[in-house]
Structure 1
Amino acid sequence: MISKKLSAIAAGLTLSLTLAACSGGGAGSGSNEGSNGGATGDGEQKTVGVAMPTQTSERWIADGDAVKKGLEEAGYKVELQFAGDDIPKQQQQIDQMVAQGVDALIIASIDGTALSTQLDAAGAANIPVIAYDRLINGNENVDFYVTFDNYSVGVQQATALLRGLGLVDADGKETGEKGPFNIELFAGSPDDNNATFFFNGAVDTLKPFIDAGTLKVASGQTEFGQVAIQRWSQDEAQKRMDNLLASTYQSEKVHGVLSPFDGISRGIITALRGVGYADNAMPVITGQDAEIASVKLINDGIQSSTIFKDTRKLAAQSVLAATDYLNGKEPEANDTKTYDNGVKVVPSFLLESDIVFKDDIKPLLIDSGYFTQEQVDKGGN
């Protein structure tokens, strides 16, 4: 699924999550031979505005740094802003970027429905807008979307839960184990378009086992609105798990928890520890984003798994898309049907992700240079 241009970039990634975006057929070279790189026709350097949602999650810090690095290596100026999960602040930041006359925008939105005024202004100024990992809804001025195959991420999370419970093997084949197992479902933030894709992919995968009685959602909370965690908050996830344990698991044991994000997983683990679950006897708990604190928990046998979305590839693909627009080209899309923002189907480039269990940490995370062994051992930098 990953293009040859992206592979050329990804091959040059360094240990610090930087990009070799100017190598091979990457941004600013190869497919753009004869272009001015980051310069306009009169020699003035072009500027790309990059709006990231928050610095409270390590993945968004890494994304912002990687996008900035790749764009700078491609010859562009970069205006990078983090909004601190504050919607009005992100609106103001993008307003300022448009007013300053940036040549392109890369936006990871906090709320996928809250930026229409800013996008209208960008459209009026002929500034191309690339939605980064989170689709921006309700506006025609979203030119391109770079993300992972989010439905498949949900399928992977559910598969990881099934594998952790022993219901499927490493090849995804059913083992014949009948259970029943008590599970609980968590979903991401309702204002993030990706959260429903993750949830739908997971629930579609789990449904046959729930219908057969092999899995039982003991709380009865199976609807997205019942299980969603606003802003993907670790604290809110802990509170919800505390409530579930108090209401449903006084005499029952919870065997597995579908968690869509590592921060949520850590909140769930804190709640479980609070009622006496030992680290070596935790339920099967999934996750996403391969945050270093959770990778250590997986390595220590506490959290079961996570989904590794190599954001270096996401950053590289966004640099390619921006470079194409700034050189008068249409970026390569590998999906033109799935992501309807309510006004248009947004051309998209979908990347692949990987399930990470303990045995996968070295080949997927350490050998690729995403983390060092020391970082995994410490659970931090």
Structure 2
Amino acid sequence: MMVKKFLIGVASAGMALTLAACAGGGAGESSDDASSTSGATGGSEPVAEGGLVGVAMPTQTSERWIADGEAVESGLMELGYEVDLQFANDDIPTQANQIDQMITNGADALIIASIDGTALASQLAAAAAADIPVIAYDRLIRDSENVDFYVTFDNYNVGVQQATSLLVGLGLLNQDGSEGDATGPFNIELFAGSLDDNNAHFFYAGAMDTLQPYIDEGTLTVPSGQTDIEQTNILRWQQETAQKRMEDLLTSTYTGTDTELHGVLSPYDGLSRGIITALQNAGFGTTVADGLPVVTGQDAEIASVKLIADGTQFATIFKDTRKLAAQAITATDAYLAGGEPEANDTETYDNGVKVVPSYLLESDIVYADNIQSLLVDSGYWTEAEVESGVAE
């Protein structure tokens, strides 16, 4: 199973975390881009060996979050910590109660991937009162001074990459960034993630900043007129909601008209699959080659990787969450050793109260022709999994 592969990768990384503080290499980095990620620069008193770390993940409905949670748990246990891993099934009160219980049970640190980045103020205040460091995992926690550190990907750049892959699919750009042969005009529709997820706003900003010049010059058009994130967002990133919105857009804007649809900006593979289902049901074809619009994605979920290999979904964004889990472990270990993790970004992530020191990781665009090099050769997926579309 995919979880097992995450555990192996992070367990190996975890063995090197204590060396990283001395050698200057962060666990969330590749060998080509290493810099110091943790160090004892004036944190709290060290926690005794075997301290308890609470890990709050948003849901088990996504293979990605299951793998993240298990990877963080495994890496922390490798370092000798006890771990309380909880999944909240996308229910905000459940997550709040889980974090309350972690604090009551004596957690020495908290790693939180929030469902709603504004809904945990009282829990964070309680953590601060108990001198418990809080690490926001992938999703920024907003409107609180009690967020100590943030580990994530360069989310604005993820949005840029999503839009870039759409432009490549339409032929306006080549994969190397050079100008393509196509001239347009092309009709596109836009989807955004859940408004209560801070990342969704960064994704959309990066994507729109990339697409807007093409829209302004008329090379791209959004026939529905729905370009604002308030119009395009999908609550809780639900596949079924995205499918329904795509069906509604087709009915209101395309059915019974001469208007063609050439591409769809989608910020997540689950949404992409819902969008593709709506398009296929409406008779747009089964692959891009036979008329299906270009559809983007994110997270390199195995079902969507197979669709890319089959020519159905055009692209996705690969965020190697093995590195993200390892970086969260690095940051936690730094705090519990009495130090502080070193950030590589201290300007970007303002949560409304303060700029949260952050560690950003890089992502890659996955097309059909680089699945092997990015996903298979790295051990993220196997050839058999790509062929079947199912994690083993």
- Give the alignment's TM-score, normalised by structure 2: 0.90
Alignment of 1:72-91 (within 5 A): 72-91=77-96
> Which aligned pairs between 1:50-199 and structure 2 lie closer than 5 A?
50-199=55-204
Structure-2 separation of matches of 1:171 and 1:358:
15
Task: Tell me if 1:256 matches 2:248.
Answer: no
1:366 to 352, 376, 389: 376
Q: CA RMSD in A?
A: 1.8
Match of 1:357 in 2: 367
Corresponding residue SS for 2:14: coil
* Pick aligned residue for 1:19 from 2, 11, 15: 11
The alpha-carbon distance between structure 1 residues 176 and 379, as it changes in their structure 2 partners (threshold 3 A), is: closer
Rounded to whole Å, the distance in 2 between the matches of 1:154 and 1:291 is 17
DSSP 3-state at the match of 1:21? helix
Does residue 213 of the first structure (1) align with residue 218 of the second (2)?
A: yes
Matched, 1:287 2:292: no
What residue in structure 1 maps to residue 33 of structure 2?
Answer: none
Against the structure 1 CA distance between its residues 374 and 87, is the aligned structure 2 distance closer, same or farther, given a 3 Å change threshold? same
Q: 2:281 aligned to 265, 274, 278, which one?
A: 274
Looking at structure 1, the residues matched to 308 and 9 of structure 2 have their Cα atoms a distance apart, in angstroms, of: 21
Q: Secondary structure at the match of 1:22?
A: helix
Do the aligned partners of 2:46 and 2:336 also contact (CA within 8 Å) in 1? no
What is aligned with 2:37?
A: none
Specify the SS of the correspondent of 1:114: coil
Q: Cα distance, 1:75 vs. partner? A: 1.3
Kindly state the Cα deviation for residue 177 of structure 1 after the two structures are TM-superposed: 2.5
Aligned twin of 1:31: 21
Tell me, in whole angstroms, the C-alpha distance in 2 between the residues paired with 1:42 and 1:339. 28
> How big is the shift at 1:170?
1.5
- Which residues of structure 1 form unaligned runs of 5+? 1-12
SS at match of 1:361: helix
1:252-292, CA deviations, whole angstroms, 9 ceiling, x for partnerless residues?
Answer: 22100000000000000010011111112211100000000
**Kept after mapping to 1: 8 A contact 2:150/2:358:** yes
Question: Alignment partner for residue 234 of structure 1, among 233, 239, 243?
Answer: 239
Amino acid at match of 1:277: F
Question: Which deviates more, 326-335 or 168-177?
Answer: 168-177
Amino acid at match of 1:245: L
CA distance in 1, matches of 2:305, 2:7: 17
CA contact (8 A) 2:302 2:385 kept: yes
Partners of 2:244 and 2:278 within 8 A in 1: yes
Unaligned runs of 5+ in 2: 24-39
How far the C-alpha of 1:360 sits from its partner, in A, is 1.1
Kept after mapping to 1: 8 A contact 2:52/2:81: yes
**Number of aligned positions between the proteins:** 363
Separation in 2, partners of 1:179, 1:245:
21
Please give the alpha-carbon distance, in whole angstroms, between the structure 2 residues aligned to 1:48 and 1:189.
28
> Once the 2 structures are TM-superposed, how far is the Cα of residue 22 of structure 1 from its aligned partner?
3.2
Give the Å deviation of 1:21: 2.5
- Contact 1:15/1:369, CA 8 A, preserved across alignment: no
Deviation sequence 1:322-357 (CA, Å, 0-9, x none): 000001111010100110011110000000000000
Query: How far off its partner does 1:44 sit?
Result: 5.2
| Distance (whole Å) between structure 1 residues aligned to residue 254 and residue 295 of structure 2 | 16
Determine if contact 2:10/2:325 at 8 Å carries over to the other structure.
no
Shift of 1:45: 1.5
What amino acid is aligned across from residue 21 of structure 2 in structure 1?
S
| 1:322-337 alignment, distance < 5 Å | 322-337=332-347
Aligned-residue offset at 1:29: 3.6
Q: Is the 8 A contact 1:48 1:105 kept in 2?
A: yes
The percent identity for this pair of structures is: 65
Distance 1:127 1:295, change over 3 A: same
What letter matches 1:328 in structure 2? G
C-alpha separation in 2, matches of 1:178 and 1:301: 22
- Structure 1 position 16, deviation (Å): 5.5
For the 8 Å contact 1:15–1:370, the answer to whether it is kept is no
1:343 paired residue number:
353
Contact 2:162 2:297 in 1 (8 A): yes
Offset, 1:171:
1.4
Structure 2 counterpart of 1:10: none
Q: Could you say which structure has the greater relative contact order, defined with CA pairs below 8 angstroms and 6 or more residues apart?
A: 2
Cα deviation per residue 1:27-60 (whole Å; 9 max; x = unaligned)?
x344269x9xxxx979651111000000001100
Q: CA deviation at 1:190?
A: 0.3
